[in-house]
Amino acid sequence: MSSSAALFYVFAAFTIVCAAGVAFSRNIVHSAFALLGALFGVAAIYVFLAADFVAGAQFLIYIGGILVLILFAVMLTHRIADVAVSNRAAGRPAALAVVGAAAWILGRAIVATRWPVAAALSDAPTTHAIGDGFLGPYVLPFELASFVLLAVLVGAIVVSRKELRG
């Protein structure tokens, strides 16, 4: 096994451990910081898969934007760690059965599938082709997505503002 393949598996294991920390932590602050590790691990895996644009977007959008927003919301919420949640264990046996069945099905699919080995990937940047796609054949969906995001932003401002009382 080459050193880059070993490093890939280290980042994959790191991502899985951090994702488990997000799912199983009883403290929301610990879950938020474990989410940082999971998102960083996913960005590192994208780098190993030669998807430099997606790795950069993962890092800037999810880690730099959304995760920071989540951390601010958690940190600024007054006494969020003191909230008592009842019925924490409700549905745990059913959830374990569903997860076990899904893991068994996925395991069988992984073992039964014949995985083709692709040729070595080139290390050429992918951003040029993505930019050409956004400004060429995919310009209409790209602009429609920007209008949808603008409408969501305006709607969030309207919903979150306080009513003026006169």
Express each pLDDT in 121-147 by its tens digit: 677 777 888 888 888 999 999 899 989
- Alpha carbon distance 38, 17 (integer Å): 8
What is the domain partition of the chain in residue ranges?
1-80, 126-166
User: Sign of the CA dihedral 39, 45, 47, 49?
Assistant: negative
* C-alpha distances out from residue 157 to 1, 65, 161, Å: 52, 18, 6
pLDDT, one tens digit per residue, over 68-99 is 888 887 777 766 666 665 556 677 788 889 99
* CATH entry 1.20.120.1200 includes domain 1-80: yes
Q: What is the mean pLDDT of residues 33-55?
A: 90
Q: Give me Rg for the CA atoms of the chain.
A: 21
